[in-house]
Structure 1
Amino acid sequence: MEFYTFNKESGKQISKFNSDFIMSRIIQTDKATNIGCMHLDKNGIVGYHQAVVPQLLLILSGEGTVRNDQEEYIKVQAGEAVFWEKDEWHETKTTEGLTAIVIESFELNPSLFMPVQKEI
Structure 2
Amino acid sequence: MITNEGSQFSYTTSRGLTREGREIRSVEVDPERGPLVQLAFELYAGGNLTIREIVDELTNRGLTTRPTLSRPAGPISHTKVAALLKDRYYLGRVKYKGDEFPGRHTPLISEELFERVQLLL
Coarse TM-score class (shorter-chain normalised):
under 0.3
More strand by share: 1
